[in-house]
Amino acid sequence: MGSRRAVADESAASHVTPPPKARTDLITAAVLLAFAAAAFAGAWAMPTFTDRGGDPFTAPGIVPGFHAVIIGVLSLVLGVRAVLRGALRADGGPPPEWRRVEGASNLRLALAAALGVGLVFGLIGRVPFWIAAAVFVASFTILFEWPITPREQRLRRIAEGIALGLVTGVVVTLVFERLFLVRLP
């Protein structure tokens, strides 16, 4: 049990990347706040269809407006945290202490981007949405868990990734189609 825990702790640490300087967080917060404001303005400008007897809760701007508010609130939290970490100091605030760990790489970033592009351009619209989501989640889980999974547990990890993909694909599809009344491709 102790060795299994050590492997889990070591693998979790391999995904840690160094935190950015406080000034970088402050700039990111400002950009995200501007994006949130623009998204909220766009959502507010969308028609509500109440003049045609439509229910105001089915207006197309509700979900983007909600997302804009959440992004705006979180960007404010990020900005306040950055200021408290010293973002307004002349040196921009030192990055918090961290140790370099293995596994933080541009290759992993490229793999995540390739999977996302593959989902959008390769699967969406060509297969039912639940299958596209299931393939994406299963692939993502299996590919990113593979290097940190002990050899004797890899078959189990593949089965878990496939199960997670299937459950996610079905649940996401049902939530969007039944709860949000959004037709998916």
pTM (2 decimals)? 0.53
The predicted model gives 14-28 an average pLDDT of 75
Please tell me the predicted confidence (pLDDT) of residue 1: 47
Per-residue pLDDT of 135-181, as tens digits, reads 999 999 999 998 888 999 999 999 999 999 999 999 999 998 988 88
Please tell me the predicted confidence (pLDDT) of residue 11: 47
Place of tokens 């400008």: 45
Please tell me the predicted confidence (pLDDT) of residue 16: 56
- The chain-wide mean pLDDT, for the chain, equals 84
- Residue 49 zone, left/alpha/beta (φ > 0; ψ -120 to 50; rest): left
